[in-house]
């Protein structure tokens, strides 16, 4: 098991190294203009030269993503519980949410910036909008997916609705919820970057725009690498936290 996992990692790494070598070689062999496609070595150079500015902007984007994601988790779970337990909410909130989800959120970004300005809040809201829906849907699925025989068992034990919620419904919904978080986290990153594209003075999305605008393509790639690393790191944290929920329906 361990050996094969190590081998998989090694093969994956090797694949990336080969791709990188091909990239580097093609740029030199075909003499591609650096503002079109910089060599890997130039990107690495840009990463190092601009490390301070990339780090600063990464922290800003990270803050937007985390606030957006956390508010999506809190509100998403609350709304899901409400929709699940309150028939009126199921008839009103749920269709409203589906309609909201059908609006292309990228199209909402300019409005959000007009309403909430160039600062942190408009990006947090964009990240929130992207992350919210998968959290609600996965939590709803989890709450509704409790096996009927377990619900019956809890009724036979005369468990109160409160006890049934905490001891049965919540633990059975957790695996679904974790899956929802895994979908939502990368979406929150996309939301924040979109928000920065549309209106901001900082953040990695802004850095990408600035670098591309001034033909510093190597810096664009460096910033993209930073976004990817950020997204991967956040996903991995969710993955690790998700292991606390080790039980899966079997």
Partner 1 sequence: MAAAGRNGIELAGVSKIFGQGESEVTALSDVSFSIRDSEFVSVIGPSGCGKSTLLRILAGLIPYERGSVQVAGEPVHGALDPVGVVFQTSNLLPWLNVEENLTLALRVNGSDASAEQRAAMLGTLGLTGFEKRYPHELSGGMRHRVAIGQALIRDPAVLLMDEPFGALDALTRDHLNMELLRIWQARKKTVVLITHSISEAVLLSDRVLVLSERPGRLIEDVSIDLPRPRDPSDTREDPRFGDYIVQLSELMGVR
CB-nearer residue toward partner 1: 66 or 168: 168
CB-nearer residue toward partner 1: 66 or 170: 170
State the nearest-atom distance from the C-beta of 245 to partner 1, in Å.
8
Residue 32 region by backbone torsions, left for phi larger than 0, else alpha for psi between -120 and 50, else beta: beta
Site string for partner 1, 94-113 (x = CB under 8 A): --------------------
Q: Which residues ranging from 13 to 32 are in contact with partner 1 (CB under 8 A)?
A: none
- What phi and psi, each to the nearest 5 degrees, are found at residue 199? -170, 100
The H-or-E segment that residue 211 falls in is helix 204-213
CA distances from 120 to 1, 44, 70, 115 (A): 45, 29, 15, 12
State the nearest-atom distance from the C-beta of 173 to partner 1, in Å.
12
DSSP 199: S
Token pair for residue 20? Answer: 């990188």
CB-nearer residue toward partner 1: 85 or 166: 166
Q: How far apart are CA 227 and CA 186, in angstroms?
A: 10
Q: Which residues ranging from 145 to 184 are in contact with partner 1 (CB under 8 A)?
A: 149-150, 152-160, 163-164, 167-168, 171
Residue 238 region by backbone torsions, left for phi larger than 0, else alpha for psi between -120 and 50, else beta: alpha
Site string for partner 1, 206-245 (x = CB under 8 A): ----------------------------------------
State the nearest-atom distance from the C-beta of 171 to partner 1, in Å.
5
CB-nearer residue toward partner 1: 90 or 167: 167
CB-nearer residue toward partner 1: 173 or 223: 173
DSSP line for 59-94: HHHHHHHHHHHHHHHHHHHHHHHHHHH-HHHHHHHH
Residues that bind partner 1 (CB under 8 A): 149-150, 152-160, 163-164, 167-168, 171, 247-250
């Amino acid at each position: 098991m361990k050996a094969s996992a190590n081998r998989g990692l090694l093969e994956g790494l090797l694949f990336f190294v080969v791709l990188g070598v091909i990239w580097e070689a093609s740029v030199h062999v075909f003499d591609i203009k650096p503002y079109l496609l910089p060599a890997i070595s130039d990107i690495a150079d840009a990463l190092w030269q601009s490390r301070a500015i990339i780090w600063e902007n990464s922290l800003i984007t990270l803050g937007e993503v985390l606030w957006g994601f956390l508010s999506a988790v809190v509100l998403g779970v609350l709304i899901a519980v409400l929709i699940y337990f309150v028939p009126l909410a199921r008839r009103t909130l749920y269709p409203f949410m589906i309609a909201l989800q059908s609006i292309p959120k990228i199209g909402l970004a300019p409005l959000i910036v007009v309403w909430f300005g160039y600062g942190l809040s408009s990006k947090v809201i964009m990240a929130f909008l992207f992350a919210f829906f998968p959290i609600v849907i996965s939590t709803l699925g989890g709450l509704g997916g409790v096996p009927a025989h377990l619900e019956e068992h809890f009724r036979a034990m005369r468990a109160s609705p409160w006890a049934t919620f905490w001891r049965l419904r919540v633990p059975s919904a957790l695996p679904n919820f974790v899956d929802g978080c895994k979908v939502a986290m990368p979406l929150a990153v996309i939301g924040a970057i979109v928000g920065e594209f549309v209106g901001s003075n900082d953040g990695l999305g802004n850095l990408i725009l600035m670098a591309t605008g001034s033909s510093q393509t190597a810096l664009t790639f460096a910033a993209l690498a930073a976004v990817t690393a950020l997204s991967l790191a956040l996903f991995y944290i969710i993955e690790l936290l998700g292991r606390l929920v080790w039980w899966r329906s079997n």
